Amino acid sequence: MAEETVGSSSSNIEAGFIEELARLITVRIFTPNASGSGILVKQQETTYTILTNWHVLANSPQTTITAPDGQKYQLFVSQQLGSTDLAIAQFDSKTTYQIAKPTTQTISVGETVFAAGFPMYQGQNWQTTFSQGLQVFQLTQGVVSLILPKSLPQGYRLGYTNDILVGMSGGPIFNQQGELIGVNGRIKNRDPSFGVYVFEDGTEPSAALLEQMVNSSWGIPIATYLQSVPPD
């Protein structure tokens, strides 16, 4: 199945449902010089927890988010989850926001998936989209291309054909039921010489597997998050 961008005018009922859901649970994250995406994963009274990539939050002295309704909040209590490229952070609000629904069901190669987030750049001209806020929201549809038997560094194991862009890091990956199966993190076509496709244990993939890996976007399975946080 070819990768495609899903727009708000899509006649696909399933894609329309996923897009509506994604807009409700995805936040845009702003640091002083960059932006990323995040997922609303928990509410405890007036405190909300978002899940994102550690590389989105790391080394940022001040981080804000724009919530799905356009309200802006300061993040606090940023925490990396183990040695993974996942992090959680919190904000306070009296507004009620929808929370993502993770799933522990097995993910299969060939399964249709949707990836969402907020691109940081406009087209190919490298102009930032900071001033456009939530208007640049993007949802793409594709399939699971690889589920690695062992992890790449920082927890990356989920490969998928969807195109994701810089700024969509930390955004959600959904299955067809609208359940959260992973977190965006790495775009396609990274240079293998930088070691991004070497397994966490130091071994290297075969040439055939490496080609598939380079042609895939990469995310961290939601199970990694669920195993890293204590149950309620």
In a domain, 47, yes or no: no
Residue 153: inside a domain? yes
Give a yes or no: residue 36 inside a domain.
Answer: no
pLDDT of residue 190: 84
Find, among 46, 63, 62, 57, the residue nearest to 79 by Cα: 57
User: Helix, strand, or coil here: 167?
Assistant: coil
Residue 32, in any domain of the structure: no
Q: Side by side, which strands form the sheet with 35-44?
A: 72-74, 64-66, 26-30, 35-44, 47-53, 86-92, 76-80
CATH number at 162 reads: 2.40.10.10
Residue-range definition of the domain harbouring residue 213: 112-228
pLDDT higher at 149 or 5? 149
This prediction has a pTM of 0.91
In a domain, 87, yes or no: no
- Is there a domain that residue 149 lies in? yes
**Is residue 14 assigned to a domain?**
no
Domain contains 117 = yes
- Tell me how crowded residue 94 is: count the other CB atoms within 10 A of its CB: 6
pLDDT tens for each residue of 84-139: 999 999 999 999 999 999 998 899 999 999 999 999 999 777 899 999 999 999 99
CA 177 – CA 160 distance, rounded (Å): 17
What gap in Å lies between CA 156 and CA 167, rounded to an integer? 17
Q: Work out how many domains the chain is built from and give that number.
A: 1
Task: Quote the tokens at residue 94.
Answer: 């009296």
pLDDT interval class at 11 (50, 70, 90) = very low
CA separation for the pair 115, 52 (Å, rounded): 13
**Pairwise CA distance, residues 59 & 67, whole Å:** 22
